[in-house]
Amino acid sequence: MYSKLKKTISELTQDFESIPEERKQTLQEVAKYISKELDENDTVKLNFICTHNSRRSHLAQIWTQTAAHYYDIEGVETYSGGTEATAFNPRAVAAVERAGFHVNSPVGENPRYEIKFSEEAEPMICFSKKFDDSENPEKNFAAIMTCSDADENCPFVPGTSFRKAVTYRDPKESDGTDHEKETYDERCRQIGTEMFYMMSQV
């Protein structure tokens, strides 16, 4: 893994105690599902869903895939989607870069970012799409709802074998303020800490 990212991950894994106990229980439930699927099928598919697939769902997808590699857990496939498609927000992309990921940033209204945690690994392709996009799984997957709006407005996600709400405050609330960068970094690290904790329980 890239050296800056390794340093960030070391900080995240030392911060597990900051996760509230109730939150840990929720993450442990997801971890149990992952373990069960891997035991029975050798593969588990996780689709992280928020409203616009522009911030929180991408961060959760990226950190979970990275954590699976870090803990040497094979068979984990991560995806993300929204109740509508917009674009992977550049502020969230910048937070990912500051955490230590390498990002190939193309142009366009809804660019397909290539995000890597290591030179040896295949890049994660991240762009905004609906949760039922053809690039996402159609059946036997977990829907992890990363925002309360999507959880409330999308009561049924076809094809799921498991669903859990693991919601986060939207860093969008800081857009255009003096605290923008700080808020995005804070949310990126919070999601990273919790996804690493979750995968450490698998």
- How many domains are contained in the chain? 1
**Does the global pTM surpass 0.85?**
yes
Burial of 46 (0-12, 13-18, 19+ CB in 10 A): buried
Range of the domain at 59: 3-200
The chain-wide mean pLDDT, for the chain, equals 95
Q: Can you tell me the mean pLDDT for 162-185?
A: 96
CATH of the domain at 14: 3.40.50.2300
The residue with tokens 């509508």 is 84
Q: Higher pLDDT residue, 44 or 156?
A: 44
Mean pLDDT for the stretch of residues 62-83:
97
Contact predicate 195/187, CB 8 Å: no
Distance of alpha carbon 196 from alpha carbon 23, whole angstroms = 13
Least confident of 52-66, 103-117, 129-143: 103-117
State the Cα–Cα distance between residues 1 and 109, nearest whole angstrom: 30
CA distance 55 to 58: 6
pLDDT at position 105 is: 81
- From the list 21, 72, 2, 78, the residue with the least C-alpha distance to 194 is 21
* pLDDT above 90 for 1: yes
pLDDT grade, residue 154 (50/70/90)? Answer: confident
